[in-house]
């Protein structure tokens, strides 16, 4: 009887039911779109942050760079004079630790031993300055003419007249970055922000091998490929692979095994950055505090700290989605619920004769209320189905258009004082702001769909509550007053 009456009444009042369902549908669709866009913003931010610190890294541990002029030596280059005038090319490399003060290698073990740390690995960031070129001896050209100058007792002596022509020096300065990575733990460290697109990556047995992985941009500039060789401070490395950064700049131009990097920089058992992976993302804050307490003198930077350094249209849009979009969704949804409730209550008022007659025939108030609530819930489910369809269409439209947002990564003021807390190279890379273009998508998850269904049921129950309350107050006498 309940379902028979329900089906008949819904068919008889299709227009009113459609109005209620449409209001709920608009509110639910807006929630789906805003939730999906917010999820897309989160993915875009994760992509930007991953380009800074690499996959799997939850935080880094560094030591702030020493202030300028505090005793750090400037690079010095010395070249031999060539008396034979051959003008042979000379070159000199200077390998310097960049970005931060070094930490003892034992610090990696201390960090790894902290509660909540799943793994920790060290890395050494280097800057290589190579000066190469040649001197050319000048030629003395004598001109005709004479002259004298007072000499000793013999009087005047002839003095040649002329000038030196030609000669000089032609030197080129090549500045590039090298990162020493722990090849025994390939799942963590600076190289995880790039993908090997040619050749291979390091093997765990190459801890002290003369091998290198080149960044694709640097490899293109220097015409390098897998199998090529590069020379760093008189040491020849074989390029075994080419890596392409997932987004933005790579951590370095060249990656080499950590032990080799320490040898080049005369920094035995030293690191500049410790990459840390937490056992649980919920424990990152606690792990950060614990490391700062138990490993004094270090700076701990998390992905949340890095997120504060990201600006640009991505940050603006994300803030709008989190604030304006969320509140707009709530306001529209509440308005839709209220309108649905008022329309249902109004519909009950127009059915006074019907419900009064049913009560006169023996229907109890609870049965009438259940009938009204049942109709409202069905309207809510219909509105939910329409809202999900509209929301999916809106999310698909956003993904299809894929508007491009910009994320500006400013080096000054980055966490840790050395350019994003040590996640990406050193001051040479962090000094200038970098801009990444990120395509926005709007992924719809099953959780979002479940939320939409829950809202549809909630909307139906809210409307039913309004209508049921109104129906429960009707009396059979009210129906008789409406009889003409």
- Res 141: pLDDT: 66
Angle between helices 365-401 and 446-472 (to 10 degrees): 150
Q: How confident is the model at residue 238 (pLDDT cuts 50, 70, 90)?
A: very high
pLDDT > 70? residue 379: yes
Q: How confident is the model at residue 431 (pLDDT cuts 50, 70, 90)?
A: very low
Range with the lowest mean pLDDT among 115-124, 176-185, 295-304, 384-393?
295-304
More reliable by pLDDT, 49 or 268: 268
- Please name the helix (run of DSSP H) or strand (run of DSSP E) that holds residue 287, with its range, or none: helix 284-294
- Res 447: pLDDT: 85
Percent pLDDT > 70 in the chain is: 60
Which are the contacts of 50, defined by CB distance < 8 A and separation ≥ 6?
193, 246, 247
Mean pLDDT of 102-126: 91
As a three-state string, the secondary structure of 213-262 is EEEHHHHHHHCCCCCCEEEECCEEEEEEEEEEECCCCCCCCEEEEHHHHH
Q: What angle do CA 85, 90, 91 make, to 5 degrees?
A: 165
More reliable by pLDDT, 475 or 85: 475
- Res 240: pLDDT: 95
Mean pLDDT of 112-132: 88
Angle between helices 365-401 and 352-360 (to 10 degrees): 140
Query: Would you put residue 415 in left (φ > 0), alpha (ψ -120 to 50) or beta?
Result: beta
- Res 37: pLDDT: 80
More reliable by pLDDT, 193 or 52: 193
Given a contact cutoff of 8 angstroms between Cβ atoms, the answer to whether 262 and 270 are in contact is yes
pLDDT > 60? residue 45: yes
- Res 88: pLDDT: 63
pLDDT > 60? residue 412: no
H helices, E strands: number in the chain: 14, 20
**pLDDT tens-digit profile of 342-360?**
777 776 666 666 666 666 6
- Res 421: pLDDT: 42
Mean pLDDT of 257-275: 91
pLDDT > 80? residue 261: yes
Average pLDDT, the chain: 74
**pLDDT tens-digit profile of 310-330?**
555 455 555 655 555 567 677
Range with the lowest mean pLDDT among 208-212, 218-222, 316-320?
316-320
- Res 224: pLDDT: 92
- Res 342: pLDDT: 73
Rounded distance between C-alpha atoms, residue 14 and residue 49, angstroms: 51
Rounded to two decimals, the pTM is 0.57
Q: How many residues does the chain have?
A: 484
- Res 39: pLDDT: 78
Torsion of CA 21, 26, 31, 32, to 10 degrees: 90
Mean pLDDT of 260-270: 91
CA terminus-to-terminus distance, the chain: 29
C-alpha closest to that of 347 among 25, 9, 79: 9
CA distances from 136 to 83, 90, 150 (A): 10, 12, 35
Mean pLDDT of 275-304: 86
CB atoms within 10 A of CB 164: 10
Percent pLDDT > 90 in the chain is: 17
- Res 479: pLDDT: 53
Tell me how far the alpha carbon of residue 417 is from its chain's centroid.
19
Mean pLDDT of 285-290: 89
Residue 275: DSSP 8-state = E
C-alpha closest to that of 208 among 247, 170, 263, 157: 263
pLDDT > 60? residue 452: yes
pLDDT > 70? residue 246: yes
- Res 7: pLDDT: 62
Given a contact cutoff of 8 angstroms between Cβ atoms, the answer to whether 244 and 106 are in contact is no
Cα dihedral 54, 59, 60, 64 sign:
positive
Residue 49: DSSP 8-state = H
- Res 353: pLDDT: 66
Q: What angle do CA 396, 40, 392 make, to 5 degrees?
A: 25
Q: How confident is the model at residue 169 (pLDDT cuts 50, 70, 90)?
A: low
- Res 318: pLDDT: 57
More reliable by pLDDT, 57 or 224: 224
Q: How confident is the model at residue 53 (pLDDT cuts 50, 70, 90)?
A: low
Q: How confident is the model at residue 339 (pLDDT cuts 50, 70, 90)?
A: confident
More reliable by pLDDT, 392 or 335: 392
pLDDT > 50? residue 32: yes
Residue 126: DSSP 8-state = E
């Amino acid at each position: 009887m309940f379902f028979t009456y329900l089906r008949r009444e819904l068919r008889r009042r299709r227009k009113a039911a459609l109005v209620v369902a449409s209001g709920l549908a608009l509110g639910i669709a807006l929630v789906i779109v805003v939730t999906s866009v917010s999820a897309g913003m989160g993915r875009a931010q994760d992509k930007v942050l991953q380009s800074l610190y690499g996959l799997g890294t939850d935080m880094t541990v560094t030591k702030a760079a020493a202030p300028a002029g505090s005793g750090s030596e400037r690079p010095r280059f010395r070249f031999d004079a060539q008396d034979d005038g051959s003008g042979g090319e000379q070159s000199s490399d200077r390998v310097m630790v960049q970005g931060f003060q070094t930490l003892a290698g034992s610090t990696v073990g201390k960090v790894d031993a902290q509660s909540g740390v799943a793994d920790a690995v060290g890395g050494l960031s280097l800057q290589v300055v190579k000066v190469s070129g040649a001197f050319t001896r000048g030629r003395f050209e004598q001109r005709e003419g004479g002259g004298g100058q007072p000499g000793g007792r013999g009087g005047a002596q002839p003095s040649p007249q002329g000038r030196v022509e030609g000669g000089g020096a032609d030197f080129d300065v090549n500045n590039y970055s090298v990162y020493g990575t722990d090849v025994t733990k390939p799942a963590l460290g600076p190289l995880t922000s790039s993908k090997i697109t040619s050749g291979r990556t390091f093997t765990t047995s190459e801890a002290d091998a003369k091998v290198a992985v080149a960044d694709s941009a640097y490899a293109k500039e220097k015409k390098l490929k897998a199998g090529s060789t590069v020379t760093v401070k008189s040491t020849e490395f074989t390029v075994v692979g080419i890596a392409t950064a997932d987004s933005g700049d790579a951590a370095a131009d060249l990656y080499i095994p950590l032990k080799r990097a320490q040898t080049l920089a005369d920094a035995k058992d030293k690191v500049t950055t410790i990459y840390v992976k937490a056992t649980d993302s919920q424990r990152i804050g606690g792990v950060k505090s614990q490391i700062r307490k138990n490993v004094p003198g270090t700076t701990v930077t998390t992905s949340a700290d890095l997120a504060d350094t990201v600006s640009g249209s991505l940050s603006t849009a994300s803030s709008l989605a989190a604030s304006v979009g969320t509140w707009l969704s709530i306001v529209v949804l509440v308005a839709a619920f209220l309108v649905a409730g008022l329309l249902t209550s109004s519909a009950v008022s127009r059915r006074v004769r019907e419900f009064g007659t049913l009560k006169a025939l023996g229907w109890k108030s609870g049965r009438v209320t259940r009938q009204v609530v049942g109709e409202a819930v069905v309207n809510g489910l219909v509105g939910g189905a329409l809202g999900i369809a509209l929301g999916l269409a809106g999310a698909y439209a956003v993904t299809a258009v894929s508007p491009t947002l910009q994320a500006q990564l400013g080096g000054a003021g980055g966490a840790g004082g050395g350019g994003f807390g040590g996640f990406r190279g050193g001051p040479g890379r962090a000094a200038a702001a970098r801009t990444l273009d990120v395509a926005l998508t709007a992924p719809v998850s099953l959780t979002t769909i479940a939320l939409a269904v829950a809202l549809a049921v909630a909307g139906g129950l809210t409307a039913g509550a309004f209508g049921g309350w109104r129906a429960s107050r009707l009396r059979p006498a009210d129906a008789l007053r409406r009889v003409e």
